[in-house]
Structure 1
């Protein structure tokens, strides 16, 4: 719990600093997650980063049924779920139209989650909006993945160098490979692991074969 919370705090804090340097014009830039513009993508990340605060206030399920790698299954990216995700982010973006408000809302959201996590038993079970019952640390791992991966998308949209923090890189790699080590023969750094595992960069046939030999499958991870 301590490790994943540190990763969440590090990655959210870094993204918040980036957002505080934006001007209003930057919010209308297109992103690698069409049809979203920067304002929509940040709204999506803010919602995801702040989601645990509300989940921890709900009755806890009796037992966990899903871990972080299993959370990113194909059902999370079905057309109805995608439509709800896209429109939900657009609605949320309209509530915070300026760059200062966008940064402030993201800061409020992730800190609300961090405070709720600090007050909760580390082994508490929560239920996601998709119905998954997960332990608190496992769901928090998915939040690190969301903030880190969409941080790459925002860096691309804003023409900035990617800022993946070391703490988040370790957490995300463990989720995306289901805990299996990335084969050294691939020569991937943490950013390449992220981009390859989430489809932001294509896999070559040789890379796919190497991953298969290592027992690593592609996750159905999207926006």
Structure 2
């Protein structure tokens, strides 16, 4: 699961249009989703049985369980697209990560069980890698058939722009990709498109470029900004100066 790393309980709104922030563009987030999912597919293809069963920092999940979670959170989209579209978007991707019941211990328990159930379905690791590839490709195709400005309602009841909800899926694939790379002892495969999209979500479009002043790689910044690696006092001050939005992550 994504780790809780919220500091102040506040949500920073960023640029807004009709009351809802619009940051990363529709086409940009679609490309980030496709590229990052493709990189993850390549990374898990050919994993050994031992690698599938390695523990991750997302306790109690193994590598296989964590990929199950990524499958689950991507596979919410087909039903959302089949449902009636809300008349207008009400929240942004930043506001989606607000600290409420969606990140409670009860909901987190369901999240863990759903991931483990999904991971247990394919008979082999190879079949599971193919299942993941088929899942994200189906969702990618469905999303690309939607017009810019399409709205969806999440399972939590939030009315969002599809592009904003899909950005939260980019967060899931990118950040859990870092978790998987670390569990497997590999270099991060984070794509520039996804790294930039998540950084813009965390810092806002007006401050994202300033992240370069830290002279950190994108994977290093995202590990620090999402609680994967601890911040020392100096690093915490540097990130705060960038105007980071601390997200509630389950």
- TM bucket (normalised to shorter chain) is over 0.9
2:185 is matched with which residue?
159
Cα shift at 1:69:
1.5
Moved more, 62-71 or 139-148: 62-71
Larger RCO: 1 or 2 (CA < 8 Å, sep 6+): 2
Unaligned runs of 5+ in 1: none
Aligned counterparts of 2:203 and 2:139: Cα–Cα separation in 1 = 25
2:164 is matched with which residue?
138
Residue number among 186, 191, 194 corresponding to 2:222 in the alignment? 194
Cα shift at 1:127:
0.8
Residue number among 109, 116, 128 corresponding to 1:83 in the alignment? 109
Q: Does 1:66 align with 2:94?
A: no
Tell me the matched-pair count.
Answer: 222
1:9 is matched with which residue?
34
1:128 is matched with which residue?
154
Aligned counterparts of 1:201 and 1:16: Cα–Cα separation in 2 = 25
- Cα deviation per residue 1:193-222 (whole Å; 9 max; x = unaligned)? 210111001122223223333322422224
SS of the aligned residue for 1:74 comes to coil
SS of the aligned residue for 1:126 comes to strand
CA contact (8 A) 1:156 1:162 kept: yes
1:111 is matched with which residue?
137
2:43 is matched with which residue?
18
TM-score w.r.t. the length of structure 2 is: 0.84
Aligned counterparts of 1:47 and 1:176: Cα–Cα separation in 2 = 23
Runs (4+) of structure 1 exceeding 6 A deviation are none
Question: Greater helix share, 1 or 2?
Answer: 1
Q: CA RMSD in A?
A: 1.5
Aligned counterparts of 1:159 and 1:185: Cα–Cα separation in 2 = 28
Aligned counterparts of 1:97 and 1:163: Cα–Cα separation in 2 = 26
Cα shift at 1:142:
0.8
Unaligned runs of 5+ in 2: 1-25
Aligned counterparts of 1:183 and 1:174: Cα–Cα separation in 2 = 10
